Amino acid sequence: QLQASGGGLVQTGGSLRLSCVASGRTFSSYVMAWIRQAPGKERDFVAGISWSGRSTSYADSVKGRFTISRDNAKNTVYLQMNSLKPEDTAVYYCAADRDAVIRGPSPNWSPSIYDYWGQGTLVTVSS
């Protein structure tokens, strides 16, 4: 129901734009988020956006470099990633949370809060 795409291989300092398209149901009332999992590490919150798009939240590690946005008419969420670093290398997942507020980043954040997950898209940043 959530299909992520746009990953690939990019050099340090480069940019990528990830997309997450929803099908089978509408997610316009859901908080949407991007979560990533680097090799050998746990899943981490990257960015979240409210249902209206007016509120966003970012992990400190990506603030100022990544931008999350959504187009509810297209049932699509985006993650614009600029100034990429090797430490951004990970599988990036989009996820949907039926809660009314963005629940990340937070010490209590857990990937289990999300109701729906996409399949992930691999981003590799070469040094």
* Confidence band, pLDDT 50/70/90 cuts, at residue 35: very high
Average pLDDT over residues 4-24: 96
pLDDT tens, position by position, 78-99: 999 999 999 999 999 999 999 8
- Asked if the model's pLDDT at residue 58 lies above 90, the reply is yes
95 vs 4, 14, 37, 90, 115, CA distance in Å?
10, 25, 13, 15, 7
Q: State percent of the chain over pLDDT 90.
A: 88
Which of 35, 39, 1, 41 is closest to 21 using CA atoms?
Answer: 1
CA distance 12 to 86: 6
